[in-house]
Structure 1
Amino acid sequence: MKKILITGSSSYVGTSLQKWLKNYPGKYSIDSISLRNDLWKKKDFSEYDVVLHMAGIAHVSSDPKMEEMYYKVNRDLTIETAEKSKEEGVKQFIFMSSIIVYGDSSSNNRVINKNTVPTPSNFYGNSKLKAEEGIKPLENNEFKIAIIRPPMIYGKGSKGNYPKLSKVAQKIPVFPDIRNQRSMLHIDNLCEFIRFMIDNEESGLFFPQNREYVNTSEMVKLIADVHGKKIRLTRIFNSFLGIIGRKFGIVNKIFGNLVYEQSLSEYTEDYRIKNLRESIIDTESNDKI
């Protein structure tokens, strides 16, 4: 039985993974811990095989007053947790980084491949990258480190842009027809991927994503369809969106291009258990989380 400690007791991925691993009774023992105060430093990590580090500030902020806090939480706390894990005999440390280390999406095509150098465009992305760089030197044969750089994660109960788009899809009759491509990752696909990381005691850098790239307009139309609504896609707004997109980053966040080359996301086992339509149906269902 693998004994797992999840840092960030209220994190979306952490709580989802706990529920996911209950599908495999007897294989995993899971605890979670908050790092919001210093009490975690007294916790004995030696009883765990894996520490899954989810604690951090997940949203992007442009407020310069927040910069110090981002580095304190996303970089310094990550390194400190990894050091404690290694000192106390944990075998594997899994860090949830982000595609944000490559910068923002763009109105032009952006395809990230194995040769793409990270170029963070804000202190959120840079704090994640610095955390990666800070923990890598700790790795050895007895202490494996797996760094995951997921694209946008969505699913039932997720936060961020997806639930906003879902609300829009259920209320409006028309939506801009923009031909963009985004890498995305449904929470079940991510949880299955992490399970394989744990089972196979992986180390290295990983880029999981859904099998299909996502077009924002088509996704909104699919969400509406799941709810029995009809949305007409139109290009009337495209010129206007192109103009304001140069001034407001939110437009590129929604309609910009940012994908991983598919070969980066291949794995020896099939973690992509839900295709896009199945994942949207699951996310939009009325079942309780």
Structure 2
Amino acid sequence: MILVTGATGFVGQALMRDLASRGMAYRGASRRQGTGHVVVGDMTGDTDWSAALAGTEIVIHLAARTHVLNETATDPLAAYRAVNVDATLNLARQAARAGVRQFVFLSSVKVNGERTLPGHPFRESDPPRPEDGYGISKREAEDGLLALAGETGMAVTVLRPPLVYGPGVKANFASLVRLSTTGLPLPFGAVRNERSLVYVGNLTDAIIRVLDQPAAAGQVFLVADAERPSIGALVTEIAAAAGKPARQFSVPPSWISAALKFWGRGAMAERLLGSLTVDTGKIHSLLGWTPPSSLQDGLRATLGSEPPA
């Protein structure tokens, strides 16, 4: 039996559909009643996971405190640590005591950092350089889980994805889809950045690939699509997937950045214009994994025009 935490989330729902399509036995865990999953309440360092862990052999831990756009916590890092570190390690300790043989943790590329130089993608061997509370908490959870694996013998596998997209995606990628499908001319023709991202179907395929793989024990894997589009190329691909024209003109990236910063959108400037790429050679060499869907397939599925089989 596989336990999936964060069962009502974007990745959780996609993963359970993928597990079901392969005939794999699983149960979901969520915070709320009425979801059809095992209810565990709020995730804390004291949450009782005994009911969810009964008969469980593998835990896939997706639940997390993710980015909060309008942060209200007095101490955001402490708020991230409470869920992403304390609650995660509490679950892992209970899982080890319950005889769970593998614990798969969905981390984030933000453990590596926020940007890469051209031709220098992130690799698992790079020193971690998280810059925000979310990335810091994910790194601390990784460290704690790998230490626990050494103490208990439970196999721990960590996956670090970049931005995840797919049907039902929200937040920044949904905004980019809306912008790309307006038909309005956009100023990205001169931007030559590269961004790694991962279609949710590719991510769930990678998660399933690591299950019960001896070579995956104690490993950290970066997972992404094969393509690394520039923002302009991504806009063009999104428009094409929607059957819309892509109209772009060239503005120096420094001008775009200056304009966004003037309007208080400095973080958006980095996401649109900066590069963040990852090297997925490790998961390919150790486990033979390659993304089954292309960027074009993933975007068509996201926009509902042609879901991958």
TM-score, scaled to structure 1: 0.89
Structure 1 residue 111 displacement after superposition: 2.1
Q: What is the rounded CA distance, in whole Å, between the counterparts of 2:85 and 2:289 in structure 1?
A: 31
Structure 1 residue 265 displacement after superposition: 4.5
Q: Does 1:29 align with 2:37?
A: no
Matches within 5 A, 1:249-288: 249-267=267-285, 268-285=287-304
Structure 1 residue 269 displacement after superposition: 2.9
Q: Pick from 40, 59, 66: which aligns with 1:58? A: 66
Corresponding position of 2:196: 183
Structure 1 residue 281 displacement after superposition: 1.1
Q: Are the aligned partners of 2:231 and 2:272 in contact in 1 as well (CA < 8 Å)?
A: yes
Q: What is the rounded CA distance, in whole Å, between the counterparts of 1:67 and 1:181 in structure 2?
A: 29
Unaligned runs of 5+ in 2: 31-39
Structure 1 residue 254 displacement after superposition: 2.3
Structure 1 residue 60 displacement after superposition: 4.9
Q: What is the rounded CA distance, in whole Å, between the counterparts of 2:101 and 2:226 in structure 1?
A: 30
Q: What is the rounded CA distance, in whole Å, between the counterparts of 2:296 and 2:305 in structure 1?
A: 16
Structure 1 residue 148 displacement after superposition: 0.6
Q: What is the rounded CA distance, in whole Å, between the counterparts of 1:236 and 1:260 in structure 2?
A: 27
In structure 1, give the amino acid aligned to 2:139: L
Number of aligned pairs? 283
Secondary structure of 2:164 counterpart: strand
In structure 2, give the amino acid aligned to 1:241: I
Q: Are the aligned partners of 1:33 and 1:40 in contact in 2 as well (CA < 8 Å)?
A: no
Q: Pick from 158, 168, 174: which aligns with 1:163? A: 174
RMSD between superposed Cα atoms in Å: 2.3
Structure 1 residue 264 displacement after superposition: 3.7
Corresponding position of 2:37: none
Secondary structure of 1:163 counterpart: helix
In structure 1, give the amino acid aligned to 2:192: R
Corresponding position of 1:119: 129
Structure 1 residue 250 displacement after superposition: 1.4
Q: What is the rounded CA distance, in whole Å, between the counterparts of 1:261 and 1:60 in structure 2?
A: 28
Q: Deviations over 1:158-195 (max 9, x none)?
A: 22321111111111421222111011111111111111
Q: Are the aligned partners of 1:61 and 1:124 in contact in 2 as well (CA < 8 Å)?
A: no
Structure 1 residue 67 displacement after superposition: 2.6
Structure 1 residue 271 displacement after superposition: 4.0
In structure 2, give the amino acid aligned to 1:125: G
Q: What is the rounded CA distance, in whole Å, between the counterparts of 2:26 and 2:67 in structure 1?
A: 26
Unaligned runs of 5+ in 1: none
Change (3 A) 1:262 1:132: closer
Moved more, 121-130 or 259-268: 259-268
In structure 2, give the amino acid aligned to 1:242: S
Moved more, 196-205 or 212-221: 196-205
Q: What is the rounded CA distance, in whole Å, between the counterparts of 1:149 and 1:45 in structure 2?
A: 24
Q: Pick from 130, 137, 149: which aligns with 2:147? A: 137
Moved more, 188-197 or 64-73: 64-73
Structure 1 residue 93 displacement after superposition: 0.3
Structure 1 residue 261 displacement after superposition: 2.5
Matches within 5 A, 1:44-83: 45-60=53-68, 63=71, 65=74, 66-83=76-93
Q: What is the rounded CA distance, in whole Å, between the counterparts of 2:260 and 2:193 in structure 1?
A: 13
Q: What is the rounded CA distance, in whole Å, between the counterparts of 1:112 and 1:207 in structure 2?
A: 8
Q: What is the rounded CA distance, in whole Å, between the counterparts of 1:67 and 1:97 in structure 2?
A: 16
Identity across matched positions, percent: 25
Secondary structure of 1:6 counterpart: strand
Q: Does 1:200 align with 2:213?
A: yes
Secondary structure of 1:179 counterpart: coil
Q: Deviations over 1:53-96 (max 9, x none)?
A: 11111225584623321110011111111101001100000000
Corresponding position of 1:147: 158
Corresponding position of 2:12: 14
Change (3 A) 1:214 1:72: same
Q: Deviations over 1:114-156 (max 9, x none)?
A: 4421111111110110111111111148410001111111111
